[in-house]
Structure 1
Amino acid sequence: MADVDAAKSLSGLLNGIAQRVYHNNADMTEELLQRELYRELPREEFTALHERMKGLLKSIAAADMDPAQLEAFLTAQTRRQAGGGVTAEQAAALSRFWKSQRVRVRESLLAQSRWEPGLRGLSWRVDLQTAASRGAADHGGPVALVELELGTAGQDSEFVCLEFDETKVNQLLKKMSDIQQSVDRIAHRS
């Protein structure tokens, strides 16, 4: 019976950590988790357990471990002798938790990494002026019209229309090329 209670407490701790870290539930505090799940455990021991489980969950989530990676990671953790390792029971609880919560944690991490408002759509066209439409206002070339659809989750879209002449299009393309080169440099470093 003690093993079942220990497994339930650890499962509750992992869920509580996930609620706080990945689902932004500010009510799920370390103090609440100790009071509800590990009342008998001294504060220092609980803090060490909490930090170890939080660190392991962050490592697992950051790597978005598949079942094979998770098994290898947890096997390595159970073999560690010094304070950072886990017991077989803790490894089993971590495995059960990750198998049931991987999708939700991943979705939460993706949502936290998005900029808001986000780009929902983009359309563009190039307009050419005919001799009849030029009249007195001769712009002297094609005009690119770009419409951006911007929005925040759960809200209606906003539309922004941009107009570029040939010079502005070339400047925009140059900036995008610079950005691509910067991303490539960073990507090749890691």
Structure 2
Amino acid sequence: MADQESRNLLGLLNGVAKYTYYGDNEVTNEFLKEELYPNISEDEFQKLLMKHTGLLKSIISADMDYNQLAAFLSSHTKKREGGITEEQAAVYSKFWKNHKVKIHDSVISQSTWNSTLKSVSWRIDLKTQARHIDQLHTPSAIVELQLTNGNGCDKKEADVVRFEMDEEKLTNMISSLEEIEKQISSHCQ
């Protein structure tokens, strides 16, 4: 019987993930109740659903690694009221192992509105044509940024931005990036 309960809980977690994070509109709470828990009342099912959805949201919002998950589940197995069993903790571990990356990517995708940097490429060229002779054969950096449009659509279009920098501009940009790195490092420690 415990094996069937574990399968039902795994099915419930998969169903919640499908309609909450993967956008599957065919899976509903009513469908999950009919398929997995037909013998319990609507109130009992709602309590069960709220409990496990809450635990799942806690795991997802913290983007727990496996050590954090183990500690989190261990603390919930020790609770007297509202806790979970060892078997249920094993189901959560199995579920998270199979869905962590996909759910993480889905949450990131759903929460990105602006364009994101997809790739950067650059090269150094020498100018072979110029208005003034002193500008010939000076090195310049040609930078290409590929941006993915993240406006909430499923279809992500890519924009390419190209620009050129001379040695002075490149030096200024590198020093600015180093300053940003120092600031980030100082706030992370």
Q: TM exceeds 0.5?
A: yes
State how far apart, in whole Å, the 2-side matches of 1:179 and 1:27 are: 46
Alignment of 1:21-170 (within 5 A): 21-61=20-60, 62-66=63-67, 70-83=69-82, 85-99=83-97, 101=98, 104-110=99-105, 112-113=107-108, 118-127=117-126, 133-134=129-130, 136=132, 138-139=134-135, 142-150=139-147, 159-170=160-171
Q: Compute the displacement of 1:178 (Å).
A: 4.2
Matched residues in 2 for 1:182 and 1:28: separation? 46
Once residues 18 and 186 of structure 2 are traced to their aligned partners in structure 1, the CA distance between those partners, rounded to angstroms, is 36
String of CA shifts for 1:55-77, please: whole Å, max 9, x gaps. Answer: 333444511215xx544433321
> Structure 1 residues 155, 57: closer, same or farther in 2, change over 3 A?
closer
Q: Partner of 1:19: helix, strand, or coil?
A: helix
Paired amino acid for 1:187: C
Q: Which runs of 5+ in 1 are unaligned?
A: none
Identity %: 31
| Structure 2 residue runs without a partner (length 5+) | none
* Kept after mapping to 2: 8 A contact 1:127/1:145: no
Contact kept in structure 2, 1:121 and 1:150, CA below 8 Å: no
Secondary structure of the structure 2 residue equivalent to 1:160: strand
Give the match's secondary structure for 2:66.
coil
Counterparts of 1:180 and 1:32, CA distance in 2: 50
TM-score by length of 1: 0.67
Give the secondary-structure state (helix, strand or coil) at the position aligned to 2:5. helix
Deviation at residue 92 of structure 1 after TM alignment: 3.3
Q: Taking structure 1 as reference, are residues 174 and 113 closer, same or farther at Cα in structure 2, changes over 3 Å only?
A: farther
Moved more, 151-160 or 90-99: 151-160
Q: Any conservation in 2 of the 1:18–1:105 contact (CA below 8 Å)?
A: no
The answer to whether the 8 A contact 2:120-2:143 is kept is no
Cα RMSD of the aligned pairs, angstroms, is: 3.6
Matched letter for residue 101 of structure 2? R
Q: 1:34 to 1:123 in 2, by over 3 A?
A: same
Write the distance in 1 (CA, Å) between the matches of 2:30 and 2:5: 18
Displacement after TM superposition at 1:80 (Å): 0.7
Paired amino acid for 1:29: T
TM-score computed with the length of structure 2 as normaliser: 0.68
Mapped contact 1:64–1:106 kept (Cα < 8 A)? no
Which amino acid in structure 2 is aligned with residue 64 of structure 1?
D
